[in-house]
């Protein structure tokens, strides 16, 4: 079945550092790919998405490119802030389906 | 933007009692809603798909009689944990897809503690 694997955390960085959180997937067909963020004490929020190969999703300085050849959707940000501290989830939605398959989540902590 | 609410946000109950959790889509209609369970420091595990006007679809390994789901209207789904036990303690999250914006919105979650 469909699955998502993301880099294990926790990840701790200093403010203004470069961030990469790796995400790879296994799916039949052509899934849509998502990054969700869960801030402390809050529900999941959609951060960005890409629906087809080579699409780049971006939001709040975060970017991820749908790479079909490497089945990857790595999350990047050039300069992180303390307020980016959260748990980040990579997810996919198979073609024609509505339910999401999530990766295990990566806890990110940014120190001032 | 679209909002999904859950009630209650926290509940503590005694072993053997039943607990109902509500999930509402506040400004869009959802014929389908999803119920997840999140263990500490782990990912979300899909429990079931709630379908308005028909039976819920449960994922493998999830007990239908334990976790009763009712999708009463296009904006409300409920999850009832029956005869709760301490191992049912967890964080339960619902989500609803807005088909117009093609975005899935998540509720803030319900922390269930069974004593």
What is the C-alpha separation between B34 and B28, in angstroms, rounded? 15
Size of interface A-B (CB pairs under 8 A): 41
Q: State residue A43's pLDDT score.
A: 83
**B108 → closest Cβ in A36, A43, A89:** A43
Would you place residue A66 in the very low, low, confident or very high pLDDT band (cuts 50, 70, 90)? very high
Mutation site for B-interface testing, chosen from A38, A41, A44, A47 by largest number of B Cβ within 10 Å: A44
Would you place residue A28 in the very low, low, confident or very high pLDDT band (cuts 50, 70, 90)? confident
- Tell me the mean pLDDT in the region A19-47: 92
Please say if the pLDDT value at position B1 is more than 80.
Answer: no
pLDDT in tens, B54-72: 899 999 999 999 999 999 8
Residues of A in contact with B4 (CB under 8 A): 43
Q: State residue B27's pLDDT score.
A: 87
Q: Which residues contact B61 (CB under 8 A, 6 or more apart)?
A: none
DSSP B66-95: TEEEEEEETTEEEEEE-S--GGG-EEEEEE
Please say if the pLDDT value at position B42 is more than 80.
Answer: no
Please say if the pLDDT value at position A42 is more than 70.
Answer: yes
| Average model confidence (pLDDT) across chain B | 92
Q: Which residues contact A70 (CB under 8 A, 6 or more apart)?
A: A24
Percentage of residues of chain B with pLDDT beyond 70:
98
Please say if the pLDDT value at position B114 is more than 80.
Answer: yes
Nearest in space to A20 (alpha carbons), one of A59, A70, A76: A76
Torsion-angle region of B65 (φ positive above 0: left; ψ -120 to 50: alpha; else: beta): alpha
The answer to whether A100 contacts B34, with C-beta atoms less than 8 Å apart, is: yes
Q: State residue B98's pLDDT score.
A: 86
What is the C-alpha separation between A16 and A111, in angstroms, rounded? 10
Nearest in space to B47 (alpha carbons), one of B62, B64, B29, B33: B62
């Amino acid at each position: 079945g469909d699955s998502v694997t993301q880099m294990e955390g926790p990840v701790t960085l200093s403010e203004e550092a470069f961030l990469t959180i790796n995400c790879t997937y296994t799916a039949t067909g052509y899934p849509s790919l998502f990054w969700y963020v869960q801030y402390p004490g809050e529900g999941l929020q959609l951060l960005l998405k890409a629906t087809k190969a080579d699409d780049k999703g971006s939001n709040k300085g975060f970017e991820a490119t749908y790479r079909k050849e490497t089945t990857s959707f790595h999350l990047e940000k050039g300069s992180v802030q303390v307020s980016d501290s959260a748990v980040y989830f990579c997810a996919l939605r198979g073609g024609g389906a509505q339910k999401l398959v999530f990766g295990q989540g990566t806890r990110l902590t940014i120190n001032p | 933007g679209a909002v999904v609410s859950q009630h209650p946000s926290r509940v503590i109950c005694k072993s053997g009692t039943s607990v109902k959790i509500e999930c509402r889509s506040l400004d869009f209609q959802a014929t389908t809603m999803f119920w997840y369970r999140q263990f500490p420091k782990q990912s979300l595990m899909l429990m079931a798909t709630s379908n308005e006007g028909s039976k819920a679809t449960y994922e493998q390994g999830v007990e239908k009689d334990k976790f009763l789901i009712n999708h009463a209207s296009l904006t409300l789904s409920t999850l009832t944990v029956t005869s709760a036990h301490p191992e049912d303690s967890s964080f339960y999250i619902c989500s609803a897809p807005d088909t117009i914006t093609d975005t899935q919105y998540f509720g803030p979650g319900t922390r269930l503690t069974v004593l």
